[in-house]
Structures are given as C-alpha cells and as structure tokens.
Homo-oligomer: A and B are copies of this chain.
Amino acid sequence: MDKLEKLSFQQVVKRLERFEFEHFQNYRAMYSSWLGGIVTDPALMVIPVDDHMVHRGDGVFEALKCVRGKIYLLEEHLNRLHTSAEMIQLERPLSQEDLKDAILQTIRASGVSDCVIRLYISRGPGDFSPRPDQSIGSQLYIVITDEKPKSPEKYEKGCLVLTSSIPVKKTFFANVKSCNYLPNVLMKKEAVDAGVDYTISIDEKGFIGEGGTENIGIISQENEFLVPGFDRILRGTTLVRIMDLARELVDQGELKGIRQTGLKPEDAYQAREMLIFGTTTGVLPAVLYDGRTIGTGKPGKFQRLFQKLLTEDMTGNASSLTPVYPV
C-alpha cells in the first residue's frame, strides 16, 4: 500500500478543524472529564484509545431523553447507572448530585431542548491491559445529540419481529448495562438482514428475553399485561414506568392485571397484543412475530393507551421530569 503519512500535531489539528461528516450535525455537546470541560465541536468528541472502555468494553452507560427542556426519568436512569457501575466495581468519578448537575450543564451548553443524553462511565485510560487497576482513574463522558426522526409506519402499521438466533447473555451480564453490547449489536444486524424491525432473544429454557435494546410484553386474551421477569433481562426504565402507569388501567377495569412471568413465543403468538418498549421508541406494536399474525394484525388498543400514558407522563408529570433550564 501507499506510504502512510506521519502526522505532526499541527497537521492533526488542521485535519480535525476541517472534519465534516453528515452525522456531526446531530452532535450538540460532549462533556469529557478527560478533557476537563465541554466541547461542542463534533471533531473534538473523542476519547483516548487506551481508555479501557474502548479496548475492553469496560464501562457502563445510559441513554435518556430530554423533551421540551425536561429530562425524563433522570433518577431512574442514574440509579440504574449506579447499579451497573457497582456490579462491575467501577468507581464513579462524580457523586449522583454532581453527575446530575454536569448533565444539566452539558445540555445547557448545547442550547437544545429536545435531545438524547448518553452517559458513559469508563474504567479510564492508562495501559492497554484488561486490568482495571492499570487505569489512571474512571472517566465520565456525557454526549448530547438530537433525537433521530421516528418512522411513523412502525406506530401506524406495526412492527415485524422474529425470534433471534444470537445466544442470550448470562444473567449477570444481562443485568449490567455495560459497553459489552456485541450480542445486542448482532441482534440489530440480524433484524436488518432479515428485513424485520426487531429480533427477540429466547433463553435456554425457551422463554422470551428481550430485543436488542427493547423490552417485550404482551396483552393476553384475558386482558392481562404480561412481562418477562427481570432475572434474565435488563430492567428497562420505560417498561418499568409503563407497568406503574398502567395500574390506572387496571383500576378502570380496562386491564385485568399486570404480572411478570415466563413467556414462551407461543404465548405471544396467541396474545391479543404484543408490545415493544424502549427509551427512544416508547411503545410500539408488534403485529407479525415469526410469521404469525398477532391479534388482529394491526396496532391495538393497549398500544395506544400505553403510549398515551407515556406521552402524558413525559410532558406533564412533574415528578418524572427534571427541568434543564431555569424558568
């Protein structure tokens, strides 16, 4: 191959200054504890290659939504981040309060009101070994991006889903939201390659697990809202919230009950509705699963009711929302 160019410090700086990529338009701000501040130029949104998060996936993360200047379920996401960090004995560089403040400051620096917030706590840079004690200290990266436009079809026509052939994570690792997401990545690829919207994992005992980055639930023929137990799948913040909000529907007699239990694909095939839950997507209807029509084959009542509850909670319920900008 051609001679590779040896770049001087100034040459690299010039290159970065001229870097322009289409996706950069969506990148609004990044706080980096390593750089010691907030950058808004996407070309500077970099991390040291020796950070153990890069070469070992040794870090934990969260993705949150900010809607009309208010962060949705901040406490819940920070609690899960805390749990993930504790599970892999990762020291947190900031207290929960300071982390919250750093998030608010980073969004303010971006100037946006509607965005996705991504939090990463990494083991930190120093050495390329897997040994956590070879790091100079854990780091925090906060990235603010625009939310990608949703495809209305998924809500209007419903989603196609398939059983995944990717091996499920071991229980311990399924419960850490770490940067070891290769099984999830391969599930996403599997869905794209198969021309469906999502694929769904099945555990060794044949029970439904989760989507690549989504939770799954069903409405049974008896109008029960059934969800897999959190022993094998990640505790999805949106799903947990919906399970809470949907109690209203039980009180109103719309739902017969809400229960966590082992679900087999057959239970979903015969369900009234099959639902997909995620932070960025909300509540989506699945209408075709492994080639079988679910319910009427169209989005159902509970998908609409659940999404309505979620939207109301996300825009109106003060207790779920953290304002970013002073009123």
Binding site for B on A (CB under 8 A): 1, 3-7, 9, 11-13, 15-17, 21, 23, 27, 30-31, 35-41, 44-50, 52-58, 61, 63, 88-89, 94, 97-98, 101-102, 105-106, 109, 116, 118, 120, 123, 125-133, 136, 141, 143, 145, 148, 167, 170-173, 176, 178-186, 188-189, 192, 212-213
Shortest A94–chain B CB gap in Å is 7
Residues of B within 8 A of A41 (CB): 9, 12
Contacts of A12 in B (CB 8 A): 35, 37, 39, 41, 44
Q: Which residue of B lies closest to A11 (CB)?
A: B37
CA distance A145 to B126 in the complex (A): 12
Q: 26 interchain pairs (CB within 8 A)? A: A1-B98, A1-B102, A4-B105, A6-B37, A6-B38, A7-B35, A7-B38, A12-B35, A15-B35, A21-B136, A23-B50, A47-B49, A47-B54, A49-B143, A50-B143, A55-B179, A56-B181, A56-B185, A88-B182, A89-B189, A118-B128, A129-B213, A130-B185, A130-B213, A131-B185, A132-B192
**B-side contacts of A3, CB under 8 Å:** 105
Please name all residues of chain B whose beta carbon is closer than 8 Å to the beta carbon of A45 when the two chains form the complex: 48-50
Contacts known (A130-B184, A179-B57, A182-B176); A4 close to B48, Cβ less than 8 A = no
Distance from A153 Cβ to chain B, minimum over Cβ atoms (Å) = 17
- The answer to whether A56 touches B4 (Cβ under 8 A) is no
Give bound CA distance, A53 to B143, whole Å. Answer: 16
- Among residues of B, the one whose C-beta sits closest to the C-beta of A57 is B57
**A132 and B188 form a contact (CB under 8 A):** yes
| Contact of B49 with A49 in the complex, beta carbons under 8 Å | no
Residue of A1, A105, A182 with most partner-chain B CB within 10 A: A182
